[in-house]
Amino acid sequence: MKENLLEPLSNEISKLVEDSWDSVASVIVAGIRMDAFLRPVPVRGVGSAFVISHDGYLVTNNHVVSETGSIEVLIGGRRFEGVVVTRSPSRDVALLRVMEDELKPLKLGDSDSIRVGELVLAIGSPLGLLGPNVSLGVVSAVGRTIEGEGFILEDLIQTDAAINPGNSGGPLLNMRGEVIGMTTAMIPYAQGIGFAIPINTIKRFMEIFSRYGKALRPWIGVITIPLGEHIARYLSLKTSEGLLVVRVLRGSPAYLSGIREGDIIIEAMGHSVRKVGDLRKILEEYMERGMIRLKIIRDYKAFNLEVPIAVEEEG
């Protein structure tokens, strides 16, 4: 009988899921919301989270725990009361804590090394089905910027792994069992595609919280997308590396400094920027300095600008 070539891969995936099972949590949030007649009614939502340290810390999406009320966290068949330690609405990330010091954390990978086409697993509690549950897909694209009603999420990973309400906050794993992203079902018009927040964004969120004791968001007021070869060719540009400014928030530091839509940011503080995450990382590194130096191309000419960094406290 001819050997099934897919069986070894199937076995490896099953083992990877089994090894991750006790590190992925279902998050049940119960609260009160006003109905159309301004009457208080109980609401109940289900999301996901994953363990990042043995002493009780987990991360999830901010929108999963944004409703006030009690938070139950189910890990490996055990039930805990969860507390929000800090949150970052701009990143859609929240840090949870449960009173347990023997949890099994997942290994965090490097989202900067993601390749389009690589296999990934999304684990969570889709559609309120307490899990974890698993879906398989590939990385479809990276560096996506998505805007919805009241939010803008940048530098997202796009995948065709099934992600539904309830998956939000769960891990996106590579074939080494490393977390490369946190899935989010916040984009209601996604059809057949899902998105995940890069794990490096979450790592930097944790570093800022560890350093300052609170969530901080440095910003200058630009919405950008990676330039890439296709956009550069369409715009007849000589360079394909950099960030294309697609929007400048009126009255923001970037706007007052003279940055305009259509500008291309190619350097920040002397470092080349190719992904949206590159600019955010440099803003976070230099926010105490209060100023960032950018190299910009406009009308095929390069020039430098110094832009003040605004810092917003979140949480």
Query: Count of CB atoms within 10 A of residue 314's CB?
Result: 18
Q: Is 131 or 159 the better-scoring residue by pLDDT?
A: 159
Same domain, 50 and 133: no
For residue 102, being part of any structural domain is answered with no
Give residue 1's pLDDT: 46
Q: Is 132 or 121 the better-scoring residue by pLDDT?
A: 121
Same domain, 28 and 111: no
Q: Is 55 a catalytic residue?
A: no
Question: Rounded distance, CA 86 to CA 105, Å?
Answer: 19
CATH classification of the domain holding 299: 2.30.42.10
Same domain, 54 and 118: no
Residue 230's pLDDT band, with cuts at 50, 70 and 90, is: confident
Q: Which of 48, 92, 125, 135 is catalytic?
A: 92
Q: Is 35 a catalytic residue?
A: no
Same domain, 199 and 229: no
Round the CA-based radius of gyration of the chain to a whole number and report it.
21
Give how many domains the chain has, as a whole number: 3
pLDDT tens digits along 141-194: 998 888 766 678 889 999 999 888 788 999 999 999 999 999 987 665 656 788
Which of 31, 66, 97 is the last residue in one of the domains?
97
Same domain, 77 and 128: no
Which of 171, 192, 208 is the last residue in one of the domains?
208
For residue 75, being part of any structural domain is answered with yes
Give residue 157's pLDDT: 95
For residue 85, being part of any structural domain is answered with yes
Same domain, 150 and 61: no
**Residue 2 predicted with pLDDT over 60:** no
For residue 1, being part of any structural domain is answered with no
Structural domain containing residue 28: 7-97
The pLDDT > 70 percentage for the chain reads: 93
Same domain, 118 and 63: no
For residue 303, being part of any structural domain is answered with yes
Same domain, 86 and 11: yes
For residue 159, being part of any structural domain is answered with yes
Task: Write the burial class of residue 119 (CB in 10 Å: 0-12 exposed, 13-18 middle, 19+ buried).
Answer: middle
CATH classification of the domain holding 181: 2.40.10.10
Which of 45, 67, 97 is the last residue in one of the domains?
97
Q: Is 278 a catalytic residue?
A: no
Same domain, 55 and 117: no
pLDDT tens digits along 25-62: 999 998 677 777 777 776 778 899 999 999 999 999 99
Same domain, 166 and 137: yes
For residue 2, being part of any structural domain is answered with no
**Residue 3 predicted with pLDDT over 70:** no
Same domain, 91 and 116: no
Q: Which of 26, 90, 111, 168 is catalytic?
A: 168
For residue 290, being part of any structural domain is answered with yes
Q: Which of 26, 63, 88, 263 is catalytic?
A: 63
Same domain, 91 and 113: no
Residue 253's pLDDT band, with cuts at 50, 70 and 90, is: very high
pLDDT tens digits along 287-311: 999 999 999 999 889 999 999 999 9
Give the lowest-confidence range in 8-22, 120-134, 203-217, 271-285: 120-134
Stretch 184-207: mean pLDDT, rounded?
84
Kindly report the average pLDDT of the chain as a whole number. 89
